[in-house]
Every structure is written in C-alpha cells, then in structure tokens.
Structure 1
C-alpha cells in the first residue's frame, strides 16, 4: 500500500460496524480448507473478519496485516476465544514467515490496494515463496466494468446502517474519480450520522485509492509470478464470471 492509503482503516471499530457481519467468502474458503493440511495464511486479515470464523470452524491460521490498529483489534476480539490463530504484523509484499502453507487467501478486494505493477509483482512473489508447490491461492478483486469505473464524481448515496453503540443512523455516500492512465480509482467515503429525528449530528470522510486490473492483464500477472488459474468466479458462490460481473474471484495454483 502507498503512504496515506490507510485512512479507511484508521478506526477499526467503525470498520467492524460496517463490515463484520458480511462473510460471503466463508463457504468457499472452508471448502478449500477442508482439503488442506497444515496452517492456512490469510493476507491483509484486518480485524479478523474472516480469520476468526475460519478458526472457529477448526482451521489453524496465521493472520497477516501491515496495519497495527487493525491487528490490535483482531487480537482483542480473539483474546479469550482460545483459537489457533497467530497474528503477524508484516508487509504482505515482504513476507518473512517461518512456515509455508498449502492454502493462502486474501479477501475484501485487498489486491486492489497494491497500486503499481511492481507492488503487485512483489505481493504475488511473496505469496509464491510462502506457498507449497501445488498449493492454492484465492483472492478477489472488483471487476473493471464501465459502470464500476465511471462512477459519478459527485456525491452519490451508497447505503445506510445503524451504529450499534450510538444508535445513530449512518448514511454512506461516495465520491469517485477514475484515473484511466494509472487504472486507479480515487474514492472519498462520507459518513453522515443522523439522530432519531433525522438531523445530521456528525459527518466524517475518508479517502482510499484502489487499482483495477483487467482480466487478460491478470492472467499475465499471475502466469509471470508462477501461478496457474484454476477457476475464475463472479462471486464467492462459485458463479461463472460474465461480462456483467461485479467482482472476480481467482482460484490459483502454484
């Protein structure tokens, strides 16, 4: 990740409030885990949104993330659960773990945080070095469709949720700008907190930049870094990819 691209993650409790219950990836990951021996590695694990449920289902994991605050939140959430998880603060582009794995995965479209060709190669090279021959690497990334890339550069409503602590209604809006030369989408997320009588009582905004990769480009990147694509899905339910896909899930083998 580039400097200043962590803003969206600098408040881990808010991240969990907005994302913790969202786990469409879990069935597919457990399917592969059931035929995997040894420790599983999750990259960019964040607050353990998937790491903890995976461990609760009998998996032994190493959760890796570069963001200290997100990892500390993961450690706090799992502290008294007795789960077989080792939390490691490392840069995923420079992994230096003491073990190799038969199964490595990354969720939450984390691949898009690696904004340059070099950083993508560094990530995949690092994964390759920690994956056993024949091992599986699974990750997802948003599909660069016209609708996805040409989002409005004006404030657009996204979704609403209720803050479980303050009970405020939170409306989320986004502003985006796509730089076609770099294939990077620059996002601003605006959170408007409303009281029970619908009055705005607070407003916060965060910025993040995400790289988009086209399918044929991804084929080349993966092949160059020692991976064979086993399957490509448009969702975590193993639906075949189409031109109308919102995201692409890659199942790769070393």
Structure 2
C-alpha cells in the first residue's frame, strides 16, 4: 500500500472521534443535496466517510452509493443509515482512485477536499479514468477542493497557531492547534493538528495529515487529459463564481 493510502487509514481509523468533530458541520450539505436533486439518481460519492453528506442526499429521495477506503468510517455510515431509516444509500469499501461499481451514474462527486488525498499524478489519472467508466455519457463529475492560499503555503513548521475549538462528550472542550509546511516540489501540504483539553492542556490526539495542493491550472489539465470539459466553477458553496482569491475550487465537468 502506498503512503497516501496509509495516511488516509491513520487519519480516519478513529471514526467515532471524526464523526464527533464534524457532527455540527452543516453549511455545505444543502449545496450537495440541491445539486443531486437537480441532476437526479443515481449518484456516487467518492470518499463518502460515514455519510455526513450522503445520508442527507439519500433522505432527499435520491439513490446514492458511497465508496471509502476506511472500514471504521464505512461501519459508522451503515449504522447511522440504519438508525435514521435511510434506505437509499449503499456503502462500499474501496479505493476511489481505482474502482468499478458496474453502474452508470448521473453524478459522481468528491466533497470537502477528499480528492486531495491522491498525492501523485498516477493516482489522480486513475481516479479520472474510473470516474469515466462509471459515469453516464451526459453525467457530471463534481470535484470540491480548497484553493491554495499562497500566504498559508508560506507558513513554516515552527509557526503554531490555534486552529479551532471543539466540544466533545468525553473530554469537554478541546483546543486544536495547527502547524504546516508546504513541499513545492511534490505540491504536498503537510499539517499537524494537536487536540488538547482546554481544562488542563492534556493532549488527547494528534493528527498528521498530508494533502495534494491542486491549483486551478492543474485541474484544467487533468480534465483535458482525460476527456472532460469544465462547465462550471464556483468559489464556495453559495455558488459564487470562482476567483483567484476564492477559498474553494468547486468544479463541474462532463465527458466530451
């Protein structure tokens, strides 16, 4: 197994902690639900995790499949789908850089930077090829990644800053500090999140994460290389047009 996949498995092995960390994140869900409703069933989510986005789509009467490499996340997703009486979502354990579900999807999407777990051109190309095999001829491939911020890429490992606070059932309020560094040769952003209890500064968890920085020209080149044309670009979930200073790259592309 390559280092990128090993990194993913480490990040998401504690699925319960991950779900608790993001249980209140709601601001992006309506974007994906509305998009799925506009395009229609069936839908496939790459890197679906435990269904934070997929289950609301399913509950909007859309038939959706999800694929993820993390067995703990898949297990949590199946449990949460059962608990919410969600019958329209199926979870599949697998690597979304190389998959074939023998189905023709109207929409395939990869949300909230999950696409950036693919570190090298070969993995990214394999993902595009897999999408093309599983996408309807007039289907849409939606990629949602962050837009690299040059100021953030200049940070050094010694610069530690408070990233956020989060509330947990077991540990109370946690203060999350971060540090990062950018490898321009490989376009990899490495960052570390340090979770400490606010009450006594006890360390609860450390996450070491590495993600591929894809610039707008990179995405355009991959689309062209694999026979996709970009039809829409948004800079955030409110569907504002993408600009160089947008926080997000939300790309809609289709085969041609």
Alignment TM-score, normalising by the size of structure 1: 0.93
Report the 3-state secondary structure (helix = DSSP H, G, I; strand = E; otherwise coil) of the residue aligned with 1:92: coil
Do the aligned residues in 2 keep the contact of 1:36 with 1:102 (CA within 8 Å)? yes
Q: 1:220 — aligned with what?
A: 221
Task: Report deviation, 1:167.
Answer: 5.2
Task: Report deviation, 1:29.
Answer: 2.2
Q: 1:143 — aligned with what?
A: 147
Task: Measure the CA separation in 2 of the matches of 1:124 and 1:204.
Answer: 34
Task: Measure the CA separation in 1 of the matches of 2:28 and 2:223.
Answer: 21
Q: 1:128 — aligned with what?
A: 132
Report the 3-state secondary structure (helix = DSSP H, G, I; strand = E; otherwise coil) of the residue aligned with 2:74: helix
Q: 1:110 — aligned with what?
A: 114
Matched, 1:27 2:30: yes
Task: Report deviation, 1:5.
Answer: 3.6
Report the 3-state secondary structure (helix = DSSP H, G, I; strand = E; otherwise coil) of the residue aligned with 1:189: strand
**RMSD between aligned alpha carbons?**
1.5
Do the aligned residues in 2 keep the contact of 1:7 with 1:208 (CA within 8 Å)? no
Task: Give structure 1 regions of 4+ aligned residues with deviation exceeding 4 angstroms.
Answer: none
Once the two structures are superposed, the pairs formed by residues 86-105 of structure 1 within 5 Å of their partners are 86-105=90-109
Relative contact order higher in (CA < 8 Å, ≥ 6 apart): 1
Report the 3-state secondary structure (helix = DSSP H, G, I; strand = E; otherwise coil) of the residue aligned with 1:93: coil
Deviating more after overlay: 31-40 vs 141-150:
31-40
Q: 2:194 — aligned with what?
A: 190
Matched, 1:17 2:20: yes
Matched, 1:242 2:243: yes
Matched, 1:159 2:164: yes
55, 69, 93: which is aligned to 1:66? 69
Matched, 1:201 2:202: yes
Task: Report deviation, 1:109.
Answer: 0.6
Report the 3-state secondary structure (helix = DSSP H, G, I; strand = E; otherwise coil) of the residue aligned with 2:240: coil
Q: CA-to-partner distance for each residue in 1:99-155, whole Å, 9 max, x for gaps?
A: 110111111211110000111101111111100111011121111121231234232
Report the 3-state secondary structure (helix = DSSP H, G, I; strand = E; otherwise coil) of the residue aligned with 1:94: coil
Task: Measure the CA separation in 2 of the matches of 1:138 and 1:242.
Answer: 18
Do the aligned residues in 2 keep the contact of 1:12 with 1:73 (CA within 8 Å)? yes
**How many residues are paired up?**
250
Do the aligned residues in 2 keep the contact of 1:42 with 1:64 (CA within 8 Å)? yes
Report the 3-state secondary structure (helix = DSSP H, G, I; strand = E; otherwise coil) of the residue aligned with 1:249: strand
**Structure 2: 5+ residue stretches without partners:** none
Task: Report deviation, 1:200.
Answer: 2.1
Alignment TM-score, normalising by the size of structure 2: 0.92
Q: 2:232 — aligned with what?
A: 231
Task: Measure the CA separation in 2 of the matches of 1:127 and 1:36.
Answer: 16
